[in-house]
Amino acid sequence: MPGLYIGSTSGFSGKNMVVMGLGLKLQKDGYTIGYMKPVGAMPVQYEGAAWDEDALCVQNLLGLNEQPDSITPVLVTKEFKLKAFTGQCGDLMAKIRDSYELVNRGKDVTLVAGSGSMYSGKYCNVDAISVIQTLGLKTLIIDRFQQELKYDYLMVMKETLGDALVGVILNDVPRAARDEVDSMVRPCLEKGGVKVLGVIPKDPLMGAIQVGELTERLHGELICAREKSERVIESFLIGTMQVENFMTHFRRNRNAAVIVGGDRSDVQLVALEGRCPCLVLTGNLRPNEIVLERAQALEIPVVLAQADTYSVAKKMEIILSRHKLRDTIKIRQGAQLLSANIDYSYVKNSLGLG
């Protein structure tokens, strides 16, 4: 039965979104699907077994019931790395091949998820290229827009994979870059034989995070409106400027969390009265009682962070750019974005499912 490898030019590019979206769509159309992630880099314990966190999430969403070592035969832990770097891991590709045959048995199609980039795992010969060629998989590659697209990388992948490359998805493309992508990048790629399956626009919700999880990621403390910990944050604004200047920026970004020093009660009150979704106070400085009482009255969460404003802002930037697809609302939105923006029929036909 056919298999489709979903890889990417770099980590955090949207592989889970594509796997989940395609999986749900194929199931809806009546196909029996298999799923595996040959190499897992996010080990977690669940019900006494070692899983890759992403693989566990995807399996649960798709309603599948495979054993963790079948879905992820290579799980990268500290112990694994010690063995890998000293050549004591044995034939890892044989384990991957055996697991794939087991998961793929009796399925119409099996989705095989990558980890990191197409070259991740090269140090122990389980990189994407090796997996694809060993298992004879068709391949879909995601390139996430990060200041620009990696069109050279995609052309190299076409040369390397040949007909195995079904096409590419250009993900998270901002509106300002769309004309250039449509008029220059896409035609150039397709002239070089790289089929562009779709261009997915940037959607703030896909990088959003709940207040409660943000608090954990910042190693902070939620000191107000704890009942609103599920509120979603899509972006942030730094409140280090004078109040007048801050008000100008805030009016343009009313849905952004505000990061501000714990001693800046003037900016804090302006943000609260403007109904910002969350206040993140830095320097481990608690706000005064007036600010706390107003935040509680308006039901606006206040997170106390120990680091300075610059450090918290940099951490927030990384969190929002790398936050995983976990929440139900984001999974649904991701599936809708995929369905509306890729050539699903072309993918099916490439797998012999048309």
pLDDT tens, position by position, 55-90: 998 999 999 999 999 999 999 999 999 999 988 988
- Amino acid present at 7: G
DSSP string, 62-122: HT----HHHH-SEE--HHHHHHHHTT-S--HHHHHHHHHHHHHTT-SEEEEE--SSTTTTG
- Amino acid present at 4: L
Task: Write down the pLDDT at residue 270.
Answer: 87
Same domain as 125, residue 27: yes
Task: Write down the pLDDT at residue 316.
Answer: 86
Same domain as 251, residue 338: no
Number of structural domains in the chain: 2
Same domain as 294, residue 150: no
Could you tell me which of 76, 87, 81 has the C-alpha nearest to residue 52? Answer: 76
Same domain as 226, residue 167: no
**In which band, very low, low, confident or very high, does the pLDDT at 230 lie, cut at 50, 70 and 90?**
confident
**In which band, very low, low, confident or very high, does the pLDDT at 242 lie, cut at 50, 70 and 90?**
confident
Are 240 and 263 a contacting pair, CB within 8 Å?
Answer: no
What is the domain extent for residue 274?
209-322
The 10s digit of each residue's pLDDT in 286-301 is 999 999 999 999 999 9
Same domain as 252, residue 116: no
Task: Pinpoint the alpha helices (H) of the chain.
Answer: 15-28, 53-62, 68-71, 78-85, 92-104, 128-135, 151-161, 175-180, 186-191, 211-217, 243-252, 265-273, 289-298, 309-322, 328-341, 344-350
For the whole model, what pTM was predicted?
Answer: 0.80
Percent of the chain with pLDDT over 90: 69
Cα torsion angle, 52, 57, 60, 63, sign? negative
Could you tell me which of 196, 141, 138 has the C-alpha nearest to residue 163? Answer: 138
Task: Write down the pLDDT at residue 133.
Answer: 97
The arithmetic mean of pLDDT across residues 323-337, rounded, is: 71
Same domain as 132, residue 70: yes
**In which band, very low, low, confident or very high, does the pLDDT at 274 lie, cut at 50, 70 and 90?**
confident
Spatial separation of the C-alpha atoms in residues 122 and 119, rounded to whole Å: 6
Same domain as 299, residue 196: no
Spatial separation of the C-alpha atoms in residues 347 and 352, rounded to whole Å: 9
**In which band, very low, low, confident or very high, does the pLDDT at 250 lie, cut at 50, 70 and 90?**
confident
Task: Write down the pLDDT at residue 209.
Answer: 84
Same domain as 256, residue 118: no
Task: Write down the pLDDT at residue 327.
Answer: 63
Same domain as 174, residue 27: yes
Average per-residue pLDDT in the chain? 91
- Amino acid present at 109: V
pLDDT score of 203 more than 90: no
Spatial separation of the C-alpha atoms in residues 271 and 151, rounded to whole Å: 41
The 10s digit of each residue's pLDDT in 135-176 is 999 999 999 998 899 999 999 999 999 999 999 999 999 999
Same domain as 170, residue 244: no
CATH number for the domain that contains residue 128: 3.40.50.300
Same domain as 154, residue 216: no
Task: Write down the pLDDT at residue 10.
Answer: 94
Task: Write down the pLDDT at residue 233.
Answer: 85
